[in-house]
Amino acid sequence: MEKYERIRVVGRGAFGIVHLCLRKMDQKLVILKQIPVEQMTKDERLAAQNECQVLKLLHHPHVIEYYENFLEDKALMIAMEYAPGGTLAEFIHKRGNSLLDEETILHFFVQILLALHHVHAKQILHRDLKTQNILLDKHHMIVKIGDFGISKILSSKSKAYTVVGTPCYISPELCEGKPYNQKSDIWALGCVLYELCSLKRAFEAANLPALVLKIMSGTFAPVSDRYSLELRQLVLSLLNLDPSKRPQLNEIMAEAICVRPLLNLYTDVGSVRMRRPEKLLAAVPLVARGRAGRAAARARGSRAGSARPGIPPALSSIYTWGGGITTPLRLPLPNTEVVQVSTGRTQKAGVTRSGRLILWEPPPVGAAAGFLLPGATEQLPSQFVCRFLEGQSGVTIKHVACGDLFTACLTDRGIVLTFGSGSSGCLGHKTFVDVSQPKIVEALLGYEITQVACGASHVLAVSNEGEVFAWGRGDNGRLGLGTQESHNAPQQVPVPPDHEAQKVLCGIDSSMILTTKNRVLACGSNRYNKLGLDRISPREKPLTADQVEEAPVFSCARSAPLCEETIVWADIGTAHSAAVTASGQCYTIGSNQHGQLGPIPCRASRAPYLVEGLQAMRVIMAGCGDAFTMVVGADGEVCTWGKSARGRLGRKEEETQSPRPVQLEESHPYLVTSVSCCHGNSLLAAKPAVEEPSPQ
C-alpha cells in the first residue's frame, strides 16, 4: 500500500471491500478491490484468482482497466481503473419514470456491445453482465464493463455448466441446467438493453421459483412504442428463448440501427493500451570474503565464550559457513526467534516466529562497519547486513525457499509469493520478467499450499490435499510432467496412484516427494542413482537393466533399504542425496567422489550407504551441498563430511569422509531448528534448548 493513499470506502459486499485510492506516482484516482482470500474457501479463492486472470487478458476502452495485484493485510488487493460516474443501475434509478431518448440508449448499448465483443474474442464469458456491473465516466458518456469475478475462460467451442450470475439476468438455458456458451451473455445483454428502454428489469418476481417461471416463459412487458420498431425488434431477438436464434455479436453490430451509433464513437475504439515493462531486478552482488571477516568471527567467538552469567541467551542464533567462511559465522539478528531458514547461491532468508521474512545480504557500498540494526544484540560483521522484507504489512509468512537469484515464500493461509529473477520462469507469473517485491502466484490462489521448495531453476509446491505443482526449467524431466518442457506458470504434476504427497524437495536437476506414508518418489536426473530409482540393495551388484538414468515422471524409489524404511527427512545435493529414517539413521546415495557419502572406499557404488560414525547420534535432519553432507542430531549436534575447500565443512581441516562435529559459538545448550545447504554454502538456525529464568 506504499504506492496508494486510501480516500474512502465506496462499496462493500460478500467479496470484500472496495476502496477509492490516490496513486501517489501520478496522483490518479484508482479503485482497490480488497478480497480477503486468506479466509476464503477454495472456490472463493478460485473466483479471486479468476478475476485477476481475466482482467489481465482484457485491454479495451470500454472495459475497466486492470493495473496490478498484491497481498496486503491478509487480503488480495486488485488495483483497477476508477469510473467516477457510478453504475448504469444508479443512473437508471435516478431517471425515475423519465424515459431515455433512443439516441442515448443506443450510445450506451453499442459501447457495451463492443466491450462484450472484445471479451468474447478472448474466449471469456462474463456470466454476470448487468447494469450494476456497467460503469460510467463523470460526464455519463463513456461506458465500461467490469466485475469479472465469476467470468470463465473457455477453451475453443467449450461450454460452461455452473449456474452463476444475478437471478434477474440468467438465461433460460441456465434455468434448465443446460450447458451454455456466449449466447447466455447475449441474453444478459438483452436484459440490459430492455432496462435502458423501460427503466426497469425485464424479469422480476417476489421469489426465485416465480422468477424462473417468468424467464422460462419469456414473458415481459413490451417496450414502449415511442421507440423505433428496429429497437424493439432488437430487444426481442436478444431475449429469444432459443439460444441458437439469438444473434451473434457481429450480427448485432451489422444491424442498421447500430451502425450510426458505432460510427459516432471515438475513432480509437478497440485500440490496445501499451503497458510499461516491469523494472528488472539487478543481480545480487557477491559477498565479500577475506581475513577481516574471519578475524571478526574469531573476535565474536571470544566474546560469546566470555558472556556475562545471568544474561539470557538470544531467542535464535543463525550461522553460515562455506563460500570462503571456514568456521561458523554468526549472522546479525534482532532479538527474535527464527523458526526456518533457506539459502540459495546468492541469498539467505529466514522466517521468524511472528511470521516475518528476514533477509541477510551484502552491506551497501560504503556502509559503516559499526552500523547497528535496531534491536540487534551485537555489532554486525562486515559480510552481511540483516533486514526485514519490506511491504509485508498484515501478511504472515510461515515458510521460505531460495533458488538461484529468486525466492519463494508461503503465507500461513497457503498463498505463494515469489520475487527475484524471472529467468527460466521460476517466479510462476507467466512471464520471464524480474520482480523486486513479493508477488502472488495467481495460478495457485485456488489451493491451500502447505510447502514450497526451490531448486536452482525450478520450483515445486504441495497443497493440503496432496496436489503437487511444478514450474521453471524442465530439462532432465525435473518437473515430473513427463516432458523436458519448461513452464513459467504452475502445472499440476501427476502423482502415482495410492501415494499422497506431504513434502516436496528440489535439487539442481531433480525433484523428490515424501509421501504421507513416508515413502520416497523422485523424478529428473538419477545420475549415480542419487534418487534411489535403481532396483538394488546394498549387498547386490545392480544389473544394467535395473538402472535408471533419468525419470520424466515421479516414480517410487526402488533401492533398498530406501524403498523399505520409513523416511522422515531427505535432501538432494548436486550428485548425491541423504535420507533420514524414523529410527534416526542416515543413508547417503550417489557420487562419492569427494567422500560426501561417508567413510566407504568405493566411489562408484550406486547402492544406499548407512553412514558409519553416527551410531551415537539420533539424526533428525540432513543437508546436501555440491560435495559435502551435513547432519543434525536430536541433541543439537552438527556433523559434516566431504570436500572441505572454501569452508564447506565449517572447520579448518582437510577433506574427510568421516563425520566430524562443527563447533558453534553457543555457550549454552541449544537445539537446531532448521538447516539448508546449497552448492558450497550452509545456513543453520539454533535456539536455546531450555528456557532460562530471567534475572531477579
- pLDDT tens per residue across span 103-134: 999 999 999 999 999 888 887 887 788 998 89
Q: Are residues 72 and 96 in the same domain?
A: no
Q: Are residues 182 and 256 in the same domain?
A: yes
Residue 279, all three cell numbers: 523494472
Domain end marker among 21, 51, 81: 81
Query: What are the residues whose beta carbons fall under 8 Å from the beta carbon of 225, sequence distance 6 or more?
Result: 232
What CATH number has the domain bearing residue 459?
Answer: 2.130.10.30
Residue 476 CA to chain centroid, in angstroms? 24
Q: Are residues 114 and 136 in the same domain?
A: yes
Closest CA relative to residue 438, chosen from 498, 484, 490, 396: 396
Q: Are residues 506 and 577 in the same domain?
A: yes
- Confirm whether 272 is domain-assigned: no
**HSE value, Cβ hemisphere, 13 Å, CA-based, for 84:** 6
Domain end marker among 48, 81, 114: 81
Residue 442 CA to chain centroid, in angstroms? 6
For the chain, the first-to-last Cα distance in angstroms comes to 44
Q: Are residues 259 and 206 in the same domain?
A: yes
Q: Which helix (H) or strand (E) holds 304?
A: helix 291-305
Q: Are residues 70 and 153 in the same domain?
A: no
What CATH number has the domain bearing residue 32?
Answer: 3.30.200.20
**DSSP secondary structure letters along 189-246:** HHHHHHHHHHSS-SS--SSHHHHHHHHHHT--PPPPTTS-HHHHHHHHHHT-SSGGGS
- Confirm whether 522 is domain-assigned: yes
Residues forming the active site: 128
Q: Which helix (H) or strand (E) holds 251?
A: helix 249-253
Summarize pLDDT for 383-408 with one digit per residue, the tens: 788 888 876 666 789 999 999 999 99
Tally Cβ neighbours within 10 Å of residue 47. 21
Rounded average pLDDT over 141-161: 58
Q: How many residues does the chain have?
A: 696
Closest CA relative to residue 628, chosen from 590, 602, 580: 590
Rounded average pLDDT over 234-246: 93
Q: Which of 12-26, 503-517, 518-532 is predicted least confidently?
A: 12-26
Residue 380 has pLDDT above 60, yes or no: no
110 neighbors 261 (Cβ within 8 angstroms): yes
Q: Are residues 147 and 77 in the same domain?
A: no
- Confirm whether 462 is domain-assigned: yes
Q: Which of 71-85, 270-284, 604-618 is predicted least confidently?
A: 270-284
- Confirm whether 157 is domain-assigned: yes
The pLDDT of residue 159? 40
Total domains in the chain come to 3
484/270 Cα distance (integer angstroms): 39
- Confirm whether 283 is domain-assigned: no
Rounded average pLDDT over 548-561: 94
Q: Are residues 497 and 387 in the same domain?
A: yes
Q: Which helix (H) or strand (E) holds 570?
A: strand 567-572
Residue 412 has pLDDT above 70, yes or no: yes
- Confirm whether 163 is domain-assigned: yes
Q: pLDDT-derived band of residue 335, with 50, 70 and 90 as boundaries?
A: confident
Q: Are residues 401 and 428 in the same domain?
A: yes
- Confirm whether 271 is domain-assigned: no
639/631 Cα distance (integer angstroms): 5
The pLDDT of residue 294? 36
Q: Are residues 528 and 392 in the same domain?
A: yes
Q: Are residues 47 and 100 in the same domain?
A: no
591/618 Cα distance (integer angstroms): 24
* Interior angle at CA 606, CA 522 and CA 470, nearest 5: 15
Q: Which of 180-189, 382-391, 488-497, 539-548 is predicted least confidently?
A: 539-548
Provide the β-strand partners of residue 462.
Answer: 451, 468
The pLDDT of residue 666? 80
In angstroms, what CA-CA distances link 618 with 480, 519, 538, 581, 586?
Answer: 33, 20, 22, 10, 9
Rounded average pLDDT over 255-278: 60
Closest CA relative to residue 675, chosen from 328, 288, 334, 298: 328
Query: What are the residues whose beta carbons fall under 8 Å from the beta carbon of 414, sequence distance 6 or more?
Result: 447, 448, 449, 450, 463, 464
Q: Are residues 468 and 344 in the same domain?
A: yes
Query: Which of the two residues, 38 and 469, has the higher pLDDT score?
Result: 469
H-type helices in 122-207, by residue range? Answer: 172-175, 182-198
* Interior angle at CA 134, CA 131 and CA 136, nearest 5: 120
Residue-number span of the structural domain to which 52 is assigned: 4-81
554/120 Cα distance (integer angstroms): 39
- Confirm whether 140 is domain-assigned: yes
The pLDDT of residue 538? 56
Tally Cβ neighbours within 10 Å of residue 632. 25
The pLDDT of residue 151? 46
Q: pLDDT-derived band of residue 153, with 50, 70 and 90 as boundaries?
A: very low
Domain end marker among 35, 53, 81: 81
